[in-house]
Amino acid sequence: MMRRDDCLKALARHVTDADIVLPVYSTAFDWIDIRPHPLNYLSHGAMGLASSHGLGLALGRPDKRIIVLDGDGSLLMNLGTLVTISEVAPPNLYHFVFENGTYEANGGHPIPGRTNVDFAGFARSAGYPTVHEFSDLKIFEQQIGAVLAEPGPVFVDLKIVASGPQERDYGRLHGPQVRKAFREALTAG
Amino acid sequence: MQVSASVEGAALLGGSVIREIKASGIDYVVSVPDITTSEGLLRPLAQESKPRLIRVCKEDEGVGICAGLAYTGKRALLLIQQTGMLDSINAIRGVAVEYGLPICMMVGLLEKEPGVPPRQSKRYGVRIVEPILDAMGIPYHEIEADADLGKIRPAIDDAYAGSHPVVLLMGRRPA
């Protein structure tokens, strides 16, 4: 099992200034400290929708890599997205799920079926052409660059441990200044 | 229940609605099938290359997809049933209303009686739609007959110009 912040640091080394990254909840708060950037798309409006926003961005900006950093509880709220993304098959979409088995931002309660759910299996069954699972940080660090070079849609299940307490200022995700900065950065390039 | 004599027997041609959708610059139609618009709109739209049809599993997915597209400058229309709109209220609340994004929805009113204003329908699920949209502050327009076609393009243009959602309520099956 890995730590979320270690995975994010490894990922950040391979994310370019042109990439759009959509992190959710606890992952978002870690990510914006590790890699602050105006092309972080942080305002998703409702739990579970990050990958759907990502699909819209992938369709509208095929010149950019779209990297969704989903949560397991979030993905369970929108499992149909796996089917939709598989059918549309955007080659520039990379869908990560950080699997810690809990609703970490909502009290740390377990997700339903935490010992049984197979997120990579969901993605394969939905039709994702490329699916990876990582539970060892060293292997993830070695392979993440190659994963992000594969044609999408790519699904990556990261097995992580639950994190400790976290300061969560939701204005950093949902504030109007966040969306304004994103819009301006996207328009600029 | 009041039946409007002017629209009771009026026609609504699907081809004319599609013409207005195209004239509005819609690049993508994002849809969960709806029986009111199935034959007159969705089936012919599925034969077209533009706007491109994206089939989704659930309507709130469509809200997110349309939002992502909006940031990229692409126009989208979410073609759904009012049951799906009701199911997606939280997504519409957060994404469309609170973020002020141009989420344009064309919503079939399941089992609404032709010529009857939605608020006067015998169907509870139809009667509640406009009051809910009022409560959310979302503008809407009733599309019931060809005479209403002229509402479509200005409604969509206004949504994008002002960055706000809009709902086009389809009150009868387009022929």
pLDDT at residue B4 tops 70: no
Tokens at A167, concatenated: 């300061």
Chain A: closest CA distance from residue B1 (Å): 37
Tell me the ipTM for this assembly. Answer: 0.96
CA separation for the pair A177, A73 (Å, rounded) = 27
Task: Report the predicted TM-score, pTM, of the whole model to 2 decimal places.
Answer: 0.96
At B98, is the secondary structure helix, strand, or coil?
helix
Chain A: closest CA distance from residue B144 (Å): 30
CA separation for the pair B72, B102 (Å, rounded) = 12
Strand partners, A68: A22, A95
Q: What is the DSSP letter of A162?
A: P
- Residue A176: is the preceding peptide bond cis (ω within 30°)? no
Residue contact B71–A182, C-beta within 8 A: yes
Contact of B80 with B110, CB cutoff 8 Å: no
Phi, psi (deg, nearest 5) at residue B138 = -100, 125
Closest CA to B57 of A154, A86, A96, A68: A86
pLDDT at residue B168 tops 50: yes
Tokens at A83, concatenated: 């089917």
Contacts of A54 in chain B (CB under 8 A): 68
- Position B8, amino acid: E
Question: pLDDT digit string (tens) for B49-65?
Answer: 999 999 999 999 999 99
Q: How high does pLDDT run on average in chain B? A: 95
Q: How high does pLDDT run on average in chain A? A: 96
Which pLDDT does position A106 carry in this prediction? 85
Tokens at A9, concatenated: 């640091």
Which pLDDT does position B138 carry in this prediction? 98
Between A59, A81, A83, which is nearest B69 by CB?
A59
Tokens at A48, concatenated: 């579970």
Distance from chain centroid for Cα B33: 12
Contact of A82 with A117, CB cutoff 8 Å: no
Distances from the Cα of A104 to the Cα of A5, A28, A98, A109, A137, angstroms:
14, 12, 11, 7, 21
Tokens at A82, concatenated: 């796996």
Which pLDDT does position A163 carry in this prediction? 86
Question: pLDDT digit string (tens) for A101-148?
Answer: 999 888 889 999 998 999 999 999 999 999 999 999 999 999 999 999
Residue A166: pLDDT band with limits 50, 70, 90: confident
pLDDT at residue A43 tops 50: yes
Average pLDDT over residues B111-124: 96
- Position B22, amino acid: K
Chain B: closest CA distance from residue A44 (Å): 7
Which pLDDT does position A164 carry in this prediction? 78
Closest CA to B29 of B85, B75, B83, B87: B75
Q: Write the CB contacts of B23 (distance below 8 Å, at least 6 apart in sequence).
A: B153
